[in-house]
Amino acid sequence: MIFADKLIALRKKAGWSQEELAQQLNVSRQSVSKWEGAQSVPDLDKIVQLSRIFGVSTDYLLKDELEEQEPAPSLPEQPQRRRVSMEEASRYLELRRAAAPRLALATFLCVISPIALILLGGLSEYTARVTENAAAGIGMSALIVLVAAAVGIFLSSGAQVREFAFLETEPFETEYGVSGMVRQRRQDFQPTANRLNMIGTILCIMSVLPLFLAMCLSGSDLMYIGAVCLLLGFVALACIVFVYAGTQTAAMEKLLEEGDYTRQRKSKSRLIGTVSVCYWLIVTAIFMFYTFGPYGNAQAKYSWFIWAIAGILYGAVMAVLRLVGQGEKKK
């Protein structure tokens, strides 16, 4: 008896439909249909899952000459995984949907926070009405207030879903119907996400136009400063749409354990989190030393670029960590 026939017999004996078996394995019904039609064979991980689900050995499933069911060998007891119910999944998605505009606003505030400091610092060079001390004081105050407001929004939004933190760090199981519900919601939201990502990409491209115009017009330093402020404004608007779409998409990927939240990547999440914390602590220390250290000028308007460079390098560091993780997985 071939694998396809054995699978059909075991499924019918358990009284499950193809859809119900697919839910148990976190695959599509079409995948189960192809297995039973002998059009494809599941990978080894799914074979092991089938062995546990039906209580038979992997040899029985894989070897055509074995006609009688062999009991599955005793395996080390697996740690009990948390199960996500339909009510929990729906509540989590609703919380993230409601939090998306707030998180987008918080990101917007972070990006525009240095604009006042940059603009006032430039004006202080051209007019006596704005002294350097006043520009630095007002600019830094605006930066601190905006960042503090953003941090407050981030913390309050995170507190609302603290009970679901395990979705990012631990493997879990979902009750019947949850995966199908989440996939349907993702399919319904996908056109909106595509439009928002397109708008965000256009805004990012447009953000460099003020700098090009300043170069073409051979503008003054003040014009370049204004161009930088406009660039940050465009990027901040792009962040709004990216974060709004990304927050909801990420919530659905977490429940499906797909994208950046597969079980393999979760094992690396703690390392990435530790590296992130250390990275930004080092960046903050460099900023403080460069600005207020023995060789600093005590004027943050000249050291704001450290954050811009740090943001670009952070993306590169995270990309390297992911590549290293993929390399270890292949080994």
| pLDDT digits 0-9 by tens, 138-176 | 888 998 999 999 999 999 998 999 999 888 878 888 887
What does the mean pLDDT of the chain come to?
Answer: 80
Q: Which of 37-46, 150-159, 216-225 has the highest mean pLDDT?
A: 150-159
Model confidence band, residue 72 (pLDDT cutoffs 50, 70, 90): very low
Contacts of 211 (CB under 8 A, 6+ apart): 224, 227, 228, 231
Residues of the chain with CATH 1.10.260.40: 3-62
pLDDT tens readout for residues 104-124: 999 999 888 888 888 887 777
What is the residue whose two structure tokens read 């396809």?
4
pLDDT tens readout for residues 270-280: 556 667 667 77
SS3 content of the chain, % helix, strand, coil (to 5): 75, 0, 20
Rg, Å, the chain Cα set? 27
User: Residue 316 pLDDT more than 80?
Assistant: no
User: Residue 103 pLDDT more than 70?
Assistant: yes
pLDDT tens readout for residues 179-196: 889 999 999 999 999 999
Report the pLDDT averaged over residues 299-303.
Answer: 55
In terms of Cβ atoms closer than 10 Å to its own Cβ (0-12, 13-18, 19+), residue 227 is buried
Query: In CATH, which superfamily holds the domain spanning 3-62?
Result: lambda repressor-like DNA-binding domains (1.10.260.40)
What's residue 327's pLDDT? 54
pTM of the complete model: 0.64
Q: Give 244-275 as a DSSP string.
A: HHHHHHHHHHHHHT-GGG-HHHHHHHHHHHHH
User: Residue 25 pLDDT more than 90?
Assistant: no
